[in-house]
Amino acid sequence: MTNMLITKGKNKIVVVGSANMDMVISASHFPHPGETLTGYGFMTNHGGKGANQAVAAARLGADVSFIGKVGNDSFGQSTIEMLRNEGIDVSGLTVAEDAPTGVAIITTVPSGENTIIIEPGANAKLTTEDITQAKDLFAQAAIVLMQLETPIPTLIKAAEMAKQQGAYVVLNPAPAAPLPAELLQNVDLLIPNETEAATISGIEVSTDEDFPAAMERLQALGVQDVIVTLGSKGACTTIDGKMVTVPSRKVDAVDTTAAGDTFCGALCTALTQGKTLPEAMHYGCKAAAVSVTRRGAQMSMPYKEEIED
């Protein structure tokens, strides 16, 4: 797989996805229904799974282009400026006049866990036409990386165009949702977490013995490779029918927001550099482990020199 990317002479990652403004507050515990808590540490932070993964890859040295949509508002302008400052090409990022920039309300607790409520805003306005207009970016792509915070028909079109141009298509199916066959048939690598793997495969994933069956079911839907992220336990895949687990570095987590996005961006970066799938998983786990030791989404993501041996 990685040899295919090298021999084509391409190394660009094109991310198709969401861009949000995150509003984060910490509390002693998650509020119960009807409960009012006094929080602390409020901050705003650029987020959205697409933008997060684009930033994660760019900070690790990847050549990244972002295709998405923001509103014609201060959050949108701030997002465009932020992506440019990270060295990301925003020629495929458009501005919606009929919707605000997406927002996410995030609560974190001392254990490092979080809850998130999202208002998609302009992300829901990303159309197949927007994808068609960005066709030149797909022609340059080694990898096209997508998530599920933009409309499914748009992702189907993006995956089709990517495959037509010979790109390797990676889908992080989050938030979890049933996926149509016409999307999965053009996906080379699926990266769900345990919950998402269970939702899509229809097989409950509660023990290590459940993973091979879930992965086999996902591959039967048309996906070539599957990596399941396991949080603090790392990530696993199957290679030649054998389970391969890559452990995560042990750290004191303070905020798990965007850890999965960091993993995806880092893994794709490693693949464009010619690393094997297990090597890329190891790189992704190292980057994610650094991110959970810091608060916030993009602000927690490491730079190349922080994770390379």
Nearest to 39 by CA among 50, 30, 48, 47: 30
How far from each other are the two terminal CA atoms of the chain, in whole angstroms?
24
Question: In degrees rounded to 5, what are phi and psi of residue 201?
Answer: -85, -25
The span from the CA of 158 to the CA of 144, in Å, is 8
Q: Where are the beta strands (DSSP E) in 54-175?
A: 63-71, 89-96, 102-108, 114-119, 141-146, 168-171
Q: For the CA atoms of the chain, what is the radius of gyration?
A: 18
Q: Clarify whether 261 is annotated catalytic.
A: yes
Active-site residue identified among 89, 130, 255, 261: 261
Contacts 24+ apart (CB under 8 A), 228-236: 228/191, 228/192, 228/193, 228/194, 228/197, 229/191, 229/192, 229/193, 229/194, 229/260, 229/263, 230/193, 230/194, 231/193, 231/194, 231/256, 231/259, 234/281, 234/285, 235/263, 235/281, 235/284, 235/285, 236/211
The span from the CA of 259 to the CA of 257, in Å, is 6
Residues serving a catalytic function are 261
